Amino acid sequence: MINIDSLIRQAESSYERIEATRLARVSGELAVKNERTLRDEGASTDFVVLRAERDLTSRRYSEIRAKADYLISLVALAEAEGSILEKHAINVEFTEE
């Protein structure tokens, strides 16, 4: 039972991380947009735009990793609960020969 409680907390934590990384990605998208505008107006350089794009790519990766970690934690929880087959509507029937 302690293992299941731990896995539930891990799944909750992973889920919360998704929102945090989503907000970071949105912030990165805004930063890239702003830097491109500044560059077009002559107030920024291509280097700064590229750095913002690099940071955005990193934030996108972090968001994807958070989603994958959440799904992995859900699978681990289902495995610990013994409910994987049930969740996927798989019915296993044994017949005696």
CA distance 97 to 41: 80
**pLDDT tens column, 10-46:** 999 999 999 999 999 999 999 999 999 999 999 999 9
What's the pTM? 0.82
Q: What is the pLDDT of residue 87?
A: 77
Run of H or E residues at 15 = helix 2-40
Q: What is the pLDDT of residue 2?
A: 67
Helix (H, G, I), strand (E, B) or coil at 74: helix
CA angle (68, 84, 90) in 5-degree steps = 125
**pLDDT tens column, 42-97:** 999 999 999 999 999 999 999 999 999 999 999 999 998 888 878 778 787 878 77
